[in-house]
Structure 1
Amino acid sequence: MSAPFSSNRSITQGNHRRRLALLGLAALVLLTVALGAWQFSRALGKRALAAAYAQALAQPPLVWRGGHAPDEFHRVRLAGQWLPADELRLDQRIANGRVGVEIVTPFRLNDGAVVLVNRGWLPADAAVPAPAGSDVELARWPRFFELATTPPVGNLFQNIDPARYAAWRGGAEPVAYARALGAQPPFVRESGPPGLPPERHLAYAATWWGMSLIGVLLWVRFYRSTRSSGVRA
């Protein structure tokens, strides 16, 4: 009596494992479908961002002395003065495959409001040139994710936002963030909309959905093999 009982128990355990394998594979397929959809939605968002950037470039430049901030990506000439004594560095930034820092210098407008201007990337040990010109492109505040807030060391920051700068320097929060325009060696300066291009996200979406298709084919094949062996999923 013990042998048939052991055999039935082994069959039951095998069936249970097959069902779990089918469920696990189905969950992976759903995950890759969701990740592909997420990347596709990001591609659409980046296309909208590129369109907004192009529209802003089509607007004539203006002089910004204070008051309401122009729309993001608009190119302006700041009127006021640079505040190099309150300059900061963003650490661990990469340009052309090299690790360095981005130099962010505040600019006080004529009405007293402060704009933080990212003047570009430099090697960490490079001397920082004095600010030259005030033509900038208004940008979004940098987006970042932190497991824990990292306080600045001197003027060296890991990430920056208005509240973090105000807490460090004191006074009111900066009213805008901008990128400096024009060549000023040795700075390396970015241009165009921030982040990955839409085509990169579309490629990621295609990769995830390709994995989804492979997962579906594997699921069907495994399901048929369990059916042929007498197992019902």
Structure 2
Amino acid sequence: MYRFLLSRQWVILTLVALLLIPAMIWLGFWQLDRHEQRVARNDLIAASLAAPPVPMAELSPADGEVDPDDRYRPVTATGVYDTGHQVVVRQRTNDDGAMGYYVLTPLIQADGTAALVNRGWVPAGNDVTRVPEVAEPPGGEVTVTGRLMADETTGTTGIRERSGLPDGMVMMISSQERAEALGAPVLGGYLELTGTEPAPADADAQPEMLPEPDHTGIGAHFAYAVQWWLFAAGVPVGWALLLRREVQDRRKAAARARRDEANGDGGGNGDDAEAAGRRPADAAPATS
């Protein structure tokens, strides 16, 4: 009865089912891992944002890198803005999804070390080959407060470096690249501005400050993980249902074949007898 399992159709179907089960289980664990990463990121952001501000130099050494665990920490820096080495960072969107630039301005501290300050977002002009007009930062010595961010890379932004950019434009924020342009040491990473003391007189004209990163949403990764595991569990169930239906169909076909065979062996004699039985008993023979 079950020899049909060795047919080409059923062998392929079984192999596909055996491949789908581990693949779906792996996809479920992959989604679970993404869920755990999102939860860990949210916890990191929440803890970092709640920490008291510290000088940026305490967490970011000159010509060094920002510890991933220190991202989003409130930091401060005091110095004078160097607008001569200010650049804008291309292909950045604001909260409404509008395309524009980040404004990156070095803040020169008393010891000569620079801290990169992302002053915020400005809209793109009609001509993307020209640096847009940007309001001047406050003059003189200021103290800035913001979130500590790590240098950007192609892996973290998905943006590729480009050659031939207009002067004053960059694709990504890199403290090492800015240190080479300045010819002076630069603290690793950058400060994402949230406040300035004293406040600029033309506050409304300044670049649009970036919003606090979302640390509440966890996405649907956990639901996707459960969904993949349910799919994996459903594969053998579906295979078993198909097997059951195939067996039932074959049994019905075999029973129908036996009935047809039985009817074929005695069917002719039975018809003759039935016809004879229907002939009138008092029918008179024909006379010539």
- TM value normalised by structure 2: 0.62
Deviation at 1:211, TM superposition (A): 2.4
1:72-111 → structure 2 map (5 Å cutoff): 73-76=73-76, 78-95=77-94, 96-111=96-111
2:48 maps to 53
Question: Which structure 2 residue ranges, 5 or more long, are not aligned?
Answer: 61-69, 126-131, 248-288
C-alpha deviation, 1:83, in angstroms: 0.8
Counterpart code for 2:7: T
In structure 2, the residue matched to 1:68 is 58
Query: Which residue among 5, 10, 18 is the counterpart of 2:13?
Result: 18
Deviations 1:93-123 (A, max 9, x none): 1111201111010111111111110000010
CA-based RMSD of the aligned residues comes to: 3.1
User: Which residue pairs with 1:5 in the alignment?
Assistant: none
**Change over 3 Å in CA distance of 1:135–1:173 after alignment to 2:** closer
Matches within 5 A, 1:34-45: 34-45=29-40
Q: Which residue of 2 aligns with 1:161?
A: 174
**Bigger Rg over Cα:** 2
- For residue 280 of structure 2, what is the aligned residue in structure 1? none
CA distance in 1, matches of 2:179, 2:163: 13
1:177 matched to 2:190? The reply is yes
Deviation at 1:214, TM superposition (A): 3.9
- Which residue of 2 is the match for residue 197 of structure 1? 215
> What residue in structure 2 maps to residue 3 of structure 1?
none
In 1, distance between residues paired with 2:120 and 2:188? 20
Q: So what's the TM-score if we normalise by structure 1? A: 0.75
| Alpha-carbon distance between aligned partners in 1 of 2:20 and 2:134, rounded to the nearest angstrom | 54
Q: Distance in 2 between matches of 1:181 and 1:109?
A: 18
Question: Is the Cα contact below 8 Å between 1:83 and 1:108 reproduced in 2?
Answer: yes
Report whether the alignment pairs 1:114 with 2:133: no
Q: Conserved in 2, the CA contact under 8 Å of 1:89 and 1:155?
A: yes
- Aligned pair count? 213
Q: How does 1:118-129 map to 2 (within 5 A)?
A: 118-125=118-125, 126-129=132-135
Q: Is contact 1:89–1:102 with CA below 8 Å preserved after alignment?
A: yes
1:176 Cα shift? 4.2
Q: Which deviates more, 38-47 or 107-116? A: 38-47
Q: In the superposition, relative to structure 1, how do residues 147 and 92 fare at CA in structure 2: closer, same or farther (>3 Å)?
A: closer
1:218 shift after superposition: 3.0
Question: Structure 1, unaligned stretches of length 5 or more?
Answer: 1-7
What CA distance in whole angstroms lies between the structure 2 residues aligned with 1:168 and 1:54? Answer: 31
Deviates more, 1:212-221 or 1:79-88: 212-221
